């Protein structure tokens, strides 16, 4: 019997959203407490990641000292891209630290443990781990935004909302690439490439891309919806554009969840005996 | 005296064998390197888009033409993608205690690592070099003023850049003797090499920063060799290669010193 046909699992899959949010909150608290157990290491990793990301400000400052503008992008616009990408990448990996490990876990038969637990397999799997250095990415993104754009509450609120949406979208794309392992075997190389594509495409001004690349940015590698559309909304707010963005974010989340559920039917146990404590 | 020479040759042959084995291993897993090479091509593609937008009116910026800046980036990215993982290798050996099994072997651990790193570096350098050459020739065209006769000199400067980076990373990796979590140092070093010459030539930095950067080793990992490729001059070659040799000697001595001190701290339990 395939794992996804398990009636018990179906029953658990229909458990209330509230209970799953409780589980998510518990994982978040637990993972943070685990990271804080080694406080020195935690702070070193967070600070190291902030310094690591900050290095690129020097690159852009040096470039814009010689070139006033690149298309309709100046230093502030590029810093917005960096702030949003860092914050959303950080948030995705704090909340769903396993999204980059799914391929390996499928191949090694590590899903068995999650299948036996009375919660949604997908959420349980991706939320059960957190990446410590991702706190540095999140902190850097917020710090950079506040430094460049100030504390204006509406703008800051919008930035936080974009961080959540773009974090979900970015996480969904990375997760979907990992889930391909169910269908094509080891997809970790594809996933690594997709992750690099998402990050690299989002960190440069939109105006440098032309022709078919622009189609890719609004479909397969949705860099456009991760940063470029949020930037346009930030520059000139419009409800329809915001609604479209939220719709696209949710569509990608649902698509990746659906892909996982379909793929899970093909999963075969690795007979791996494991414990989660 | 002949005994000393014979002993040195025997030792060189031993490490040569390690390097040859590592090269054979790397060739067996060349698919991994080809994948990296694909990503290298992607990064060059992004930079090509960026600089095409910047240079849409032609001219030159900070003394570089469109063609020069892109060939410069092809070289710096090629060198960066051809580096070895010596930091990670040393880190793992020290933290896992595996180093205890390597210390009692009939070789010097650091020289072994150096010889072992040669294989992946050479394979990556070759694959990325060919990829870079193909990309540059197809998308940018020939570099004005470039003469193939200078190729051996340019390869020497590039090899020095790779060795310099290898030794700097080895010094950082050896810090694992004292620190459980030393990745932040790697990030900081990596980003300093990014700022000082990888993404932009030093000429884009303010004058005061350029003066400081020219004294730092980071400039001789990427900037020095790439600058020689796009704007070669005899005096610049002598200056860059001399500074590279000095830093290589200094870092090799530093790595040896850190290693000797670190080994005294090893405390391995069990077996």
Which tens digits make up the pLDDT trace of A43-87?
A: 877 887 787 788 889 899 999 999 889 989 999 999 999 999 999
**Domain residue limits, chain A:** 26-266
Of A58, A65, A205, the CB nearest to B195: A58
Asked if B199 and A59 come within 8 Å (Cβ–Cβ), the reply is yes
Print burial letters for A3-16: b (CB count within 10 Å at least 16), e (below 16).
Answer: bbeeeebeebbeee
CA distance B92 to A46: 22
> What pLDDT does residue B186 have?
87
A209 and B CB contact within 8 Å: yes
In the predicted structure, residue B233 carries a pLDDT above the cut 90: yes
Pick from B174, B172, B154, B256: nearest CA to B217: B172
Q: Give the pLDDT mean for B172-183.
A: 86
What is the overall mean pLDDT for chain B? 89
Interface check B207 vs A, CB under 8 A: no
Q: Does the pLDDT at position B99 exceed 80?
A: yes
What's the full length of chain A, in residues? 277
Tell which residue, A85, A140, A105, A77, has the closest CA to residue A276: A105
- Whole-number Å distance between alpha carbons of A51 and A48: 5
pLDDT confidence tier of residue B52, bands split at 50, 70 and 90: very high
Digit-coded pLDDT (tens) for B135-160? 999 989 888 888 889 999 999 999 99
Question: A142-188: per-residue pLDDT in tens?
Answer: 999 999 999 999 999 999 999 999 999 999 999 999 999 999 888 88
Containing structural domain, residue B128: 1-270
Model pLDDT, residue B58: 81
All residues of chain A having their beta carbon less than 8 Å from the beta carbon of residue B39 are: 193, 196
Per-residue pLDDT, B195: 86
8 Å CB contact of A205 and B42: no
User: Which residues between 22 and 51 in chain B have a beta carbon less than 8 angstroms from any beta carbon of chain A?
Assistant: 35, 38-39, 42-43, 46, 49-50
The CA distances from residue A232 to A209, A212, A236, in Å, are 16, 21, 6
Q: What is the ipTM of this complex?
A: 0.83
- For chain B, give the percent of residues with pLDDT over 90: 54
Query: Taking residues B32-59, what's their average pLDDT?
Result: 88
Q: Looking at the complex, does the CB of residue A39 fall below 8 Å from at least one CB of chain B?
A: no
The closest CB to that of A47, out of B180, B184, B206, belongs to: B184
Residue among B36, B51, B53 with most chain A CBs within 10 A, to mutate:
B53
Q: What is residue B81's predicted lDDT score, i.e. its pLDDT?
A: 92
Contact A132, A46 (CB under 8 A): yes
Hey, which residues 142-201 in chain B have their CB within 8 Å of chain A? 180-181, 183-185, 187-188, 190-192, 194-195, 199-200
Q: How far is it, in rounded angstroms, from Cα B163 to Cα B221?
A: 8
Residue of chain A minimizing CA distance to B184 = A48
| Predicted local distance difference test score (pLDDT) of residue B26 | 81
Beta bridge partners of A73: A70
Whether the pLDDT of residue A3 is over 50: the answer is no
Sequence-distant (6+) residues with CB within 8 A of A109 are: A268, A269, A270, A271, A272
Cβ contact, residue pair A51, B188, below 8 Å: yes
Question: What average pLDDT does this structure show over A211-228?
Answer: 92
Q: What is the predicted pLDDT for the residue at A37?
A: 78
Could you tell me if A223 and A198 are in contact, meaning their C-beta atoms sit under 8 angstroms apart? Answer: yes
| Partner-chain residue, chosen from B35, B184, B190, that has the shortest CB–CB distance to A189 | B35
| Span of A113-122, A231-240, B130-139, B161-170 with lowest mean pLDDT | A113-122
User: What's the Cα-to-Cα distance from A60 to each of A69, A141, B40, B193, rounded to whole Å?
Assistant: 11, 16, 21, 15
Would you say how long chain B is, in residues?
A: 271
Instruction: Give the number of domains in chain B.
Output: 1
- Other residues' Cβ atoms within 10 Å of the Cβ of residue A179: 25
């Amino acid at each position: 019997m395939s794992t996804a046909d398990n009636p018990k699992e179906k029953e658990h899959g229909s458990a209330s959203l509230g209970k799953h949010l409780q589980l998510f909150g518990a994982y978040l608290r637990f993972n943070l407490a685990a990271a804080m157990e080694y406080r020195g290491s935690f702070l070193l990793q967070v600070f190291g990641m902030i310094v690591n990301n900050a290095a690129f400000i020097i690159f852009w400052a040096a470039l814009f000292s010689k070139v006033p503008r690149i298309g309709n992008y100046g230093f502030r616009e590029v810093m917005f891209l960096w702030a949003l990408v860092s914050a959303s990448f950080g948030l995705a990996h704090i909340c769903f630290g396993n999204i980059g490990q799914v391929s390996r876990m499928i191949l090694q038969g590590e899903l068995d443990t999650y299948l036996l637990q009375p919660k949604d397999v997908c959420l349980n799997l991706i939320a059960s781990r957190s990446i410590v250095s991702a706190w540095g990415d999140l902190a850097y993104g917020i710090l950079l935004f506040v430094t460049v754009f100030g504390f204006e509450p509406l703008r800051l609120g919008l930035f936080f909302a974009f961080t959540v949406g773009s974090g979900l979208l970015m996480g969904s794309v990375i997760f979907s690439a990992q889930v391909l392992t169910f269908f094509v075997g080891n997809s970790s190389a594809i996933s690594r490439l997709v992750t690099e594509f998402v990050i690299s495409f989002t960190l440069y001004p939109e105006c440098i891309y032309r022709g078919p690349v622009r189609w890719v940015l609004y479909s397969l590698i949705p860099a456009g919806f991760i940063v470029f559309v949020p930037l346009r909304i930030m520059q000139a707010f419009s409800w329809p554009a915001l609604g479209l963005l939220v719709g696209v974010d949710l569509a990608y989340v649902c698509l990746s969840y659906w892909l996982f559920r379909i793929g899970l039917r093909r999963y075969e146990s690795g007979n791996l005996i494991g414990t989660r404590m | 005296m002949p005994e000393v020479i014979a002993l040195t040759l025997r030792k060189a042959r031993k490490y040569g064998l390690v390097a040859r084995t590592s090269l054979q291993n790397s060739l067996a897993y060349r698919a991994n390197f080809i994948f990296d090479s694909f990503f290298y091509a992607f990064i060059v593609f992004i930079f090509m888009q960026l600089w095409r937008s910047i240079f849409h009116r032609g001219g030159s910026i900070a003394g570089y033409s469109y063609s020069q800046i892109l060939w410069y980036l092809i070289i710096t990215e090629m060198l960066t993608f051809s580096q070895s993982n010596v930091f990670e290798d040393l880190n793992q050996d020290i933290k896992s205690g595996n180093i205890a099994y390597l210390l009692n072997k009939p070789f010097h651990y650091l020289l072994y690592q150096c010889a072992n790193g040669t294989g992946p570096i050479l394979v990556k350098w070759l694959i990325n070099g060919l990829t870079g050459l193909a990309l540059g020739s197809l998308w940018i065209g020939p570099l004005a003023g470039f003469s193939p006769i200078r190729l051996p000199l340019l390869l020497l400067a590039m090899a020095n850049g790779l060795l310099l980076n290898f030794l700097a990373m080895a010094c950082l990796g050896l810090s694992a003797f004292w620190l459980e979590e030393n990745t932040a140092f790697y990030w900081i070093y990596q980003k300093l090499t990014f700022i000082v010459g990888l993404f932009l030539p030093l000429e884009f930095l303010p004058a005061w920063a350029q003066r400081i950067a020219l004294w730092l080793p980071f400039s001789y990992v990427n900037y020095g060799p790439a600058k020689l490729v796009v704007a070669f001059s005899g005096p610049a070659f002598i200056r860059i290669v001399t500074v590279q040799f000095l830093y290589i000697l200094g870092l090799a001595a530093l790595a040896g010193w850190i290693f000797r001190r670190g080994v005294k701290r090893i405390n391995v339990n069990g077996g």
